[in-house]
A and B are shown apart, each in its own frame.
Chain A
Amino acid sequence: MSNLTKSIVWILIKRNYKFWTCLSIVLFIIMLALLGPYSTPYKPNDVVTPRLPPQSSHPFGTDNLGYDVFSASVYGLRVSLMVGFVAAVVATTVGVTLGLIAGLKGGIVDSIIDSITNILIAIPTVFIMIIVGTFYVTGAGAGTARELLNMIFIGTTIGLLMWHWTARAVRSQVIALKTSDYVAVSILSGNSSFKVLIKDILPNIASYILLVFVIQLANGLATSVTLEFLGIKASEWSLFARVMQWLQMGALIAHVWWAWLIPGALIVMLIASLYIIVLALDEVFNPRLRRI
């Protein structure tokens, strides 16, 4: 019945408006971050006329100090996104590896990894991130090597505090697969543990790992933005650090709503879209959730 399965999957993806809408939003925002800087003559540090509402020369307007919100957004999003991305990559890599090991080996190794994840869950991770961030990160100039280093550093820190979730998720999937009949048959067929891992287990958790990565991306972005608000920014141009500055300098009072609402809306839509993509894909991958 392969035709039937293929049709169902295709129909689900094709008809899934949620998926396509959200995917478009995500791609749009990423495009904004990548190409935005080339489409604006202003740099985030340029001071122009203050308090201009959104108009053709300033699509997002200017804030009460005269900074162009659009250029601040597109230059700054890059930083925020990069941090979130690094966090997701680190969390997924570490989490998948440890989850695989814990699930496959079991026994003492599993218990050790389990204890570590338990500790990580209990620690208030934002607290640690703030401490680490405050001590290490200094405001770097935009586009410098220092900025890159900072982004990688913050991203990695966030990732190292997020991997436990991935590890647990992957571990339970691996255990479910490990006890399945076809893995038993694979072992009976003389396949080495390594071959079983490569041919039987990994391909069947690949889609799961993809979903987990996207979730971690959303989480990582949210955390990166939170840290920026608290002053831990990879560079002067980190978007939400700037938004925070603007708020502190009276953007609210000056009724320049576009200065904080637009960047806020952007990031909220991005994170929300990522989550909805995961939900939509889950429906496709997981037959039990289908409403057919």
Chain B
Amino acid sequence: MSILLNVENYKVYYRTLSGYIRAVDGVYLSVDKGKIIGVVGESGSGKSTLALSLVLPKPPMVIKGGRVIFDNSIDMLNLNTNERRKLLFTRISIIPQYSLDALPVIKKIRKLITDLARDKNIDVEELLNLFKERLKTVNLPDRVLDMYPIELSGGMRQRVVIAISTLLKPDLLIADEPTSALDVVTQRQVLELLTDLRDQGIIRSLIFITHDIAAVRQIADKIATMYAGKIVEIGDLESTITSPLHPYTSLLIKSVPSLEVSYRTKTLRGLGGIPPSLLNPPEGCRFHPRCPYVKPTCTREEPPLVKVGSSYVACWLYSKR
């Protein structure tokens, strides 16, 4: 089977005094081996929760249901802490949001690696050599080892983080907004680097989570759009970008002005309304308050995820009530 990660009806909530925040509410996703899937979502979509919950679930995060099968054999939701610890870093690795600021300021990079080696019971020399190799792939010189994170630029720190998280050649790398804090030129470098890592076999598959649909367009093979805790569309890159099925995907694409357009030639329109509440999501289809094609059914019942051509979409435009 060529599927590396299969996610079905996955639910992750946050427990609060006012109720459950339904950050991930029935997500379906599959990641093929050797492919890059881009998960696009904005604030209140639950995408970061999706990423973190797969790897480091912590209270008040509560996994409320679903199935997550890794490499056709490992049931991710029924692992104990030890088993999960073993997986982390060796087979699944994550680059969390803001990670480039999470590097401990007072430790030299070398110390970070030696600490890691001790933690994972790996020979320190071996890990350091691996790291030096990885530094070459990310286009950083060896002397980075003896520098403090604060001496490095944002782009360099991000590349260090990428080097560390891919040290043990994980099958699956999850990157949550890896380039948002970087300037445009460095962003291109980092994104092309991630593609390189996949091409060279250092990682097998990549889940790239972001709000920037144009960035996803550059490197992904498949694209999934997430809204209010649900995946509303998944499909091949080309077909989704050229003919998006879900109204949200379509509006997202339209709100990125293509270069030739200026307000003097054409006034663009963004998506109106406000981001959805995950505490009290709208009834029926969660997108209906902002959807230009809303019908009565949409306000009452949630549309199922159905296959349309080679894509999947959750929208009453494509299913019969």
Q: Do chains A and B touch in the complex (CB under 8 A)?
A: yes
A residues neighboring B (CB under 8 Å): 3-4, 6-8, 10-11, 292
Decide if B279 touches A292 in the complex (CB within 8 Å): no
Closest chain A residue to B21, Cβ basis: A4
- Residues of chain B within 8 A (CB-CB) of A4 are 16, 18, 21, 279
Give complex CA distance A10, B18 in Å.
Answer: 12
> A8 to B60, alpha carbons, bound, how many Å?
10
B18 contacts which chain A residues (CB < 8 A)?
3-4, 7
Answer yes or no: B309 CB below 8 A from chain A CBs.
no
A3→B17 contact, CB < 8 A: yes
CA distance A11 to B18 in the complex (A): 12
From B17, B21, B60, give the contact of A292 (CB < 8 A).
Answer: B60
In the complex, what's the smallest C-beta–C-beta distance from A253 to chain B, in angstroms? 49
A-B contact pairs, 17 of them (CB 8 A): A3-B16, A3-B17, A3-B18, A3-B279, A4-B16, A4-B18, A4-B21, A4-B279, A6-B17, A7-B16, A7-B18, A8-B16, A10-B17, A11-B17, A292-B58, A292-B59, A292-B60
- Expressed in whole angstroms, the Cα–Cα distance for A70 and B290 within the complex equals 72
The 8 A CB mask of B243-287 against A (1 = contact, 0 = none) is 000000000000000000000000000000000000100000000
Chain B nearest CB from A180 CB (Å) reads: 19
Task: Please indicate the chain B residues that have their CB under 8 angstroms from the CB of A10 in the complex.
Answer: 17
| Contact partners of B59 in chain A: CB under 8 A | 292
Taking A3-B17, A292-B60 as known contacts, 16 extra A-B pairs with beta carbons closer than 8 A to each other, sorted by chain A number, are A3-B16, A3-B18, A3-B279, A4-B16, A4-B18, A4-B21, A4-B279, A6-B17, A7-B16, A7-B17, A7-B18, A8-B16, A10-B17, A11-B17, A292-B58, A292-B59
Q: How far is the CA of A7 from the CA of B60 in the complex (A)?
A: 11
In the assembled complex, the Cα of A292 lies from the Cα of B62 at a distance in Å of 12
Chain A residues, Cβ within 8 Å of B58: 292
Least Cβ–Cβ distance between B63 and chain A, in angstroms: 16
- Residues of chain B at interface, number, CB under 8 A: 8
A-B contact number at CB 8 A: 18
Write out the residue numbers on chain B whose beta carbons fall within 8 Å of the beta carbon of A6: 17
Closest to B58 in A: A292
CA–CA, A7 and B14, complex, Å: 12
Residues of B within 8 A of A7 (CB): 16-18
How many Å lie between the Cα of A98 and that of B16 in the bound state? Answer: 42
Contacts of A3 in B (CB 8 A): 16-18, 279
Give CA–CA (A11, B16) in the complex, Å.
9
Bound Cα distance from A8 to B17, whole angstroms: 8
Residue on B nearest A4 in the bound complex, by CB: B16
Complex CA distance for A3 and B16, rounded to whole angstroms: 9
Please name the residue on chain A nearest to B59 by beta carbon.
Answer: A292
Across-interface contacts of B279 in A (CB, < 8 A):
3-4
* Closest-CB distance, B53 to chain A (whole angstroms): 15
Q: How far is the CA of A78 from the CA of B18 in the complex (A)?
A: 45
Q: Which residues of B contact A11 (CB under 8 A)?
A: 17
A256 to B18, CA, bound (A): 56
| Interface-central residue, B18, B21, B279, by most chain A CB under 10 Å | B18
The B82-98 residues at the A interface (CB cut-off 8 A) are: none
Chain B nearest CB from A157 CB (Å) reads 38
Q: What CA separation (Å) do A292 and B60 show in the bound complex? A: 7
B residues 1-46 near A (Cβ < 8 Å) are: 16-18, 21
Docked complex Cα distance between A7 and B59 (Å)? 14
**Which residues on A sit within 8 Å (CB–CB) of B17?**
3, 6-7, 10-11
* Closest-CB distance, A52 to chain B (whole angstroms): 52
Give complex CA distance A6, B279 in Å: 14
Chain A residue nearest to B44 (CB atoms) is A1
Of B17, B58, B60, B279, the most chain A CB neighbours within 10 A belong to B17
CA distance A6 to B59 in the complex (A): 17
Closest chain B residue, CB of each to CB of A1 = B279
Residues on the A chain within 8 Å of B21, using CB: 4
